[in-house]
Structure 1
Amino acid sequence: MQEPRVYIDITFITNFCMDFIILWATARLIKLEIRYMKLTLAAALGAVYACICLFPHWKIVGSLPVKISVSIILLLIALYPLSYTTFKKALLYFYIISFSAAGAALAAPYLFDSAGHVFRFSYLWLLAAGVFVLTVGIAGEKYLKNHWLPSILQYDVEMRFDDKRCQGRGFLDTGNSLRDPLTNQPVLVAEYELLQEYLPEDFRRAVEESNNEQEVLDAVTLSSWAHRLRLIPFQSIGKKNGVLLGIRADEITLASGRKNISYRNLVIGLYRDKLSRDGSFRLLIPAEVINRIQEG
């Protein structure tokens, strides 16, 4: 029986194309800048490795440890520089996309061949796998951004003031670097309307009936919650030196899904506008607070 011929040039081209789009899709999903020269170099190296694996007397090259090592090298070449945490995520996505593409290539013949013929490899199915990976890279990024990321970056938050408890949905804000000047603790930001009904009447009146920022400050310092009052300095576009009105909570509890964790005497900055257009969250949680959940 004549053995099937394997052409090294076709092997190189097909593996180069697949490695390139898998690396591209991986970079897209983890929101890294795509550097096409690096992707090309990594894909070419992966294609060379695939060609080397064709030689039967070099079986050690095709072993599992070598394959894993090569995939790590390809990712480092294509995506460097990246942190260790980002690299772990990239490696996970790389294998998920690779296995999914392989599954798409194997499943396509059975989906479209109603006659039940024995599977025979065709480069058309390889093209199907390539289209699948491109779809993951394009549509998958939008799905992660609009559905998956929000679901894992949002937390239920409960704030206690004496015997009053207010609950809301918070979103992890890695850009939130606000700190309480007195304690140097991180500051959460909440929509004023979320806390409005839990505030003392004189405090609400001071905030809502004052005509300018100075009047607000003068009035809230005379309210019954003056002992909770904090002034949080901040900088933003168009306003170099701003002050955010804050109140100290007796206790703040965050639910991460696995467990709850409580903080005492953290400050909540009051934001008079909406934090999200669709109302999906009403608080911004600094990353420092979430890190304690993940480390616990």
Structure 2
Amino acid sequence: MKYELYADVWFLTNFTMDSTALWIAGKFMKQQIRAGRLLLGSFAGTAVSMLLFFVWDDYTWYQICVHFLVNPGMVFLCYRSREKKEFLGQCAVTYLAFLLLGGILEWSMQNAAGGIDFVWYFSGAALFLAAAKKMLGHLKREKETVYDLLLITGEGNISVKGFYDTGNLLIDPLVGRPVHIIKKEILKEQIQQGKLPVRLIPYHSLGQESGLLEAVTLEGMYIMRENHPVYLKKPVFGMAEEKLFQNDKCEVILNGKSMEN
């Protein structure tokens, strides 16, 4: 059996599908998409897919290349995400959008409308899409609570990651400033060289009923927020051992009152 292929119709159809899928995915994930990036990603993805179809005789390798190289590249051109987890989430939601726009719609048109199989198929896809949205929401909240920090010391600047913890409300009674918690290893060298004077402050929030915490005061700290950086003058840091930090995502636990300054 032979089929006639109209390249212009194919290109326009796929370009429209790609653009619509990327737009739906962006709305679903509540991400702003520039029209130029969306059109660029859709055009590039459709053009490369079409080119590979005509020059590649092996349809299996063509499918592999499109699904694992071309489509992810199209998503990257549209969203420009540089974080692995976020990028993978964008790819997953975009593919689900392709599924809902293309696969489900085409399948339903070729089969009996309202069939029970279609209902189950659609319901499963909708549930999976809802789960993906919940996962992306969790990743976004996690991303929003971790900030790039720039610590200003007399010996130079130190770049670290900081987790914004609303439960950390420790205050230095001597100067009345919020106390942030930092891995002791970060400032160990400067402390040993006598560059940072250490003092003790009382605490009640590090797994003990009461105790004394070694603390130092730095020259300043920048919290790199997306809208604008927050600068804290003379921030106080309590030093804690590695076991307090459950993973390597951050070296500092920011005080819950950090953003009030």
TM-score band by shorter chain is 0.5 to 0.7
Match of 2:233 in 1: 264
1:112 and 2:100 aligned: no
Question: Within 1, Cα distance between the matches of 2:112 and 2:212?
Answer: 68
Is the Cα contact below 8 Å between 1:187 and 1:266 reproduced in 2? Answer: yes
What do you get for the CA RMSD once the two structures are aligned? 3.4
Question: Within 2, Cα distance between the matches of 1:136 and 1:285?
Answer: 34
Is the Cα contact below 8 Å between 2:104 and 2:122 reproduced in 1? Answer: no
SS at match of 2:210: strand
Letter in 1 for 2:166: T
Relative to the length of structure 2, the TM-score reads 0.52
Distance change >3 Å, CA 225–CA 172, structure 1 → 2: closer
Question: Within 1, Cα distance between the matches of 2:176 and 2:99?
Answer: 53
Structure 1 residue runs without a partner (length 5+): 1-100, 203-223
SS at match of 2:168: coil
1:127 and 2:120 aligned: yes
Relative to the length of structure 1, the TM-score reads 0.47
Displacement, 1:153? 1.6
Question: Within 1, Cα distance between the matches of 2:102 and 2:159?
Answer: 47
Is the Cα contact below 8 Å between 2:202 and 2:210 reproduced in 1? Answer: no
1:152 and 2:121 aligned: no
1:235 and 2:205 aligned: yes
Question: Within 1, Cα distance between the matches of 2:205 and 2:215?
Answer: 15
From 154, 175, 181, the equivalent of 1:183 is: 175
Is the Cα contact below 8 Å between 2:190 and 2:196 reproduced in 1? Answer: no
Greater C-alpha Rg: 1
Displacement, 1:112? 3.2
Match of 1:273 in 2: 242
Q: Deviations over 1:100-158 (max 9, x none)?
A: x9997665433536xx649945564443443234334545545544x433322211111
Letter in 2 for 1:134: L
Question: Within 1, Cα distance between the matches of 2:252 and 2:121?
Answer: 44
SS at match of 1:287: coil
What pairs with 1:51-130 in structure 2 (closer than 5 Å)? 107-112=102-107, 117=110, 120-122=113-115, 124-130=117-123
Structure 2 residue runs without a partner (length 5+): 1-95
SS at match of 1:148: helix
Is the Cα contact below 8 Å between 1:275 and 1:283 reproduced in 2? Answer: no
From 248, 252, 257, the equivalent of 2:221 is: 252
Aligned residue-pair number = 167
Letter in 2 for 1:153: T
SS at match of 2:141: helix
**Percent identity among equivalent residues?**
16
Question: Within 1, Cα distance between the matches of 2:217 and 2:104?
Answer: 63
Q: Deviations over 1:44-93 (max 9, x none)?
A: xxxxxxxxxxxxxxxxxxxxxxxxxxxxxxxxxxxxxxxxxxxxxxxxxx
What pairs with 1:197-208 in structure 2 (closer than 5 Å)? 197-202=189-194
Match of 1:287 in 2: 256
Question: Within 2, Cα distance between the matches of 1:104 and 1:123?
Answer: 18
Distance change >3 Å, CA 232–CA 124, structure 1 → 2: farther
